[in-house]
Amino acid sequence: MPRPAAPTSDLVSRPKGLLDQDHRELEHHLEVAALLLELLPADGRVSASHRGALEAALAYFRREAIWHTRDEELSLFPRLRRARNRRVAAALAQLATLTHEHEAVIKLHEAFEQAAAAGLKAARYSPRQRRTLQRLLRDLRAIYRRHMEIEDRQIFPLAAAVLGPAQMRSIDRDIAQRRR
């Protein structure tokens, strides 16, 4: 899977920018992984097409999902925390929750990757492995659903409103540098 495009200008500063685009791609890959697990044959055998699609989803989770988390944790959230604004002060508890959720999803992604790798190596998933993967995906999707709702509807628009163009361009540059 190709790397997401590095921002070229004002992709973050628009409420529907690169960070929002990352959310849509993450939702897509979570959906694909869930569908692949549903479509495995009863014997758990992994076909070449299942393997390729699952490996692509795992690669996405391993790279782009982690980059997105870093983009927020290293660029967006610190600038919001430093902003001297009443609206941001009211959102600080949400930022703490989002940071905690980032830690939780990283652990879930690691567990999912370990469980998925075992089945890929054997070219077969046992019923227990399949249930474990499905549970991990349900947990990931539940956390991400709440998490993205807060970011998409509150945090990203708040950042666009209070940080100003110069800081938003600085975030764009940070993201571009990390994703090279």
pTM here?
A: 0.84
Q: pLDDT digits over 39-84, tens only?
A: 999 999 999 999 999 999 999 999 988 888 999 999 999 999 999 8
152, with CB counted inside 10 A (0-12, 13-18, 19+), is: middle
Architecture of domain 18-178: Up-down Bundle (1.20)
pLDDT digits (tens, 9 = 90+) for 4-51: 444 444 445 444 467 888 899 999 999 999 999 999 999 999 999 999
* H helix runs in the chain, sequence order: 18-39, 48-60, 66-71, 77-82, 86-122, 127-150, 156-162, 164-178
